[in-house]
Amino acid sequence: MGRYVSFVDRFKKYISIDTKSDDASTAVPSTKGQLELGALLVQELTELGISAVHEPNGYVYAEIPATVQGKKTLGLIAHLDTAPDLDGKCCNPRVFTYTGGDIVLNEKYTMSVKDFPILNTLVGEELIVTDGNTLLGSDDKAGITIIMEVAQYLVEHPEVPHGAIKIAFTPDEEIGRGADHFDVKRFGADFAYTIDGSCIGELEYENFNAATAKVTITGRNVHPGAAKNIMKNALEIAFDLHSCLPVAERPEYTDGYEGFFLLNELSGTVDTAHLNYIIRDHSKEKFEQKKSLLKSAIDFINIKYGSVAELTVKDTYYNMREKIEAHLEIIDLAKTAFEACGIEPIIQPIRGGTDGARLSYMGLPCPNIFTGGFNFHGRYECIPTSSMQKCIKVILHIIQQLSH
């Protein structure tokens, strides 16, 4: 296969593979594209002389052996899938030097400075954007690219001392299953970083407590001409239920440590309606209160309309801070690397989650490091190439520190 001309070429190859995960699928991984990308990564790692294994469930494990013995074993993790929100096969990315102003993606969609003021900070940067029809896939193929570039650098520079480095690429992170079959013991790292953050400088070891909630409303459909006192319109009941939840606790009105309810799917007919929510809060107490509030709203609807609503709630991950606080030396290690590379660490709560949250509860302390991208999960995704380069330097500096 040969080497990529640049890390941008590598990134473009990865994003051209559709690895969008599918919450409705029971397969592991949930989509075949993730297997395709995993196979490509194993091939590339093998060609570099790195031992790599591709599990049938989609997980990729690899190891770069130590050149210095007796040092801590570092883990680097990124996820194979992209979000289900939009087409995940990005075949027409545009790479250009940004000179300011709005960015026209296509005749229908424009990334405007008014809507995305972060563009004001990127004048003069080389950017990668979509053609407006797909995801870019930088969440988390930027993370994969960064890890693969680090691996290639270490292979091509055997004079660089380092302890053992473990690599893992996981499937289905975007649908909350990324750690379901992760073998922490087999992985064998003392600690790890997920390379799955957003803007440059992000260093995160706090995240939301998270749950999914699925509601089914069973109505009663009769001819509308004879509906009086008989019909129960499941769609109208769904609207009534949603109105019971606080408007101010929707994601578009919250930030920082504030949690939210997100209605991310609504479908149905007069006969039956389905509502899917995600529930988030950094505070475990407030997280439990939010779940209780939704249950109370369901109870109210069932009293008002007569046992029409069923609720299923499933916790998906918890705030990793509880587990990382006993290992703050790995935060200090990353901070030192950031500062050595001229990057100011931005330590803030993740308004989301990573595989690292669950892995931390599975015994592998695993904070999160930036990739440099932003506007994830939509057609307005964008990443400065310099941010990926800086993340590569940060990781190499972490490795350097661990070898001392």
Catalytic residue ranges: 81, 173
Q: DSSP states of 65-104 as a string?
A: --SSTT-PPEEEEEES-B-TTS-------EEEE--SS-EE
Distances (CA, A) of 307 to 213, 219, 223, 245: 18, 10, 22, 19
Considering just the CA atoms, what is the radius of gyration of the chain in Å?
23
Determine contact, residues 85/378, Cβ cutoff 8 Å: yes
Distances (CA, A) of 6 to 15, 140, 388, 402: 15, 18, 12, 27
Beta strand pairing call for 272-281 and 368-369? unpaired
H/E stretch holding 231 reads: none
Determine contact, residues 264/274, Cβ cutoff 8 Å: no
283 backbone dihedrals φ, ψ, rounded to 5°: -80, 125
Region of 279 on the Ramachandran plot (φ > 0 left; ψ -120 to 50 alpha; else beta): beta
CA 117/CA 375 separation, integer angstroms: 12
β-strand partners of 193: 76
β-strand partners of 57: none
